[in-house]
Amino acid sequence: MKRNAYIAAALLLAGITACNNEPAFTVEGEITDAADKMLYLEQTGLECIVPLDSIKLDEEGGFSFSVARPDAPDYYRLRIDNKVINFAVDSTEAVKVHAGLGNFATGYEIEGSENNTKIKELVLLQAGLQERVNRVARSGLPIGIAQDSIQKIVTAYKDTVKHKYIFAGPNKSYAYFALFQELNGYMIFDPLTSKEDVKCFAAVATSMNNMYPHADRSRNLYNMVIKGMKNTRAPQVKPLEIPMDKVEETSIIDIPLRDENGNLHHLTDLKGKVVLIDFTVYGASESGARNLLLREVYNKYKEQGLEIYQISLDTDEHFWKTAADNLPWICVRDPQGPYSTFLRLYGVSQLPASFLVNRSNELSLRIGADTDLDAEIKKLL
Query: Interior CA angle at 59 toward 53 and 64, to 5°?
Result: 30
Hey, is 255 helix, strand or coil? coil
Q: What DSSP element (H or E) covers 204?
A: helix 195-211
Q: Which of 233, 179, 183 is nearest to 204 (CA)?
A: 179
173-177, 182-186, 306-310: least confidently modelled range: 182-186
Structure confidence at residue 97 as a pLDDT band (50, 70, 90): very high
Quote the pLDDT of residue 123.
Answer: 96
Distance separating alpha carbons of residues 275 and 265, to the nearest angstrom: 13
Q: pLDDT, tens digit, for every residue of 203-222? A: 999 888 888 888 999 989 98
Hey, is 238 helix, strand or coil? coil
Distance separating alpha carbons of residues 163 and 183, to the nearest angstrom: 19
Is residue 290 within 8 A of residue 276, CB to CB? The reply is no
Q: pLDDT, tens digit, for every residue of 153-170? A: 999 999 999 999 999 999
Highest mean pLDDT pick, 10-19, 137-146, 264-273: 264-273
Number of helices (H) and strands (E) in the chain: give both, helices first: 10, 17
Peptide bond into 352 cis (omega under 30): yes
Q: pLDDT, tens digit, for every residue of 192-205? A: 778 899 899 999 99
Is residue 274 within 8 A of residue 306, CB to CB? The reply is yes
Distance separating alpha carbons of residues 232 and 194, to the nearest angstrom: 7
Helices (H), 280-357: 287-301, 317-324, 341-345
Q: CB atoms < 10 A from the CB of 103, how many?
A: 10
Structure confidence at residue 118 as a pLDDT band (50, 70, 90): very high
46-55, 80-89, 310-319: least confidently modelled range: 310-319
User: Which residues, listed in sequence order, are joined to residue 79 by a DSSP beta bridge?
Assistant: 40, 84
User: Which residues, listed in sequence order, are joined to residue 80 by a DSSP beta bridge?
Assistant: 83
Which residue type sits at 22?
E
Residue of higher predicted confidence among 334 and 16: 334
Question: At residue 295, does pLDDT exceed 90?
Answer: no
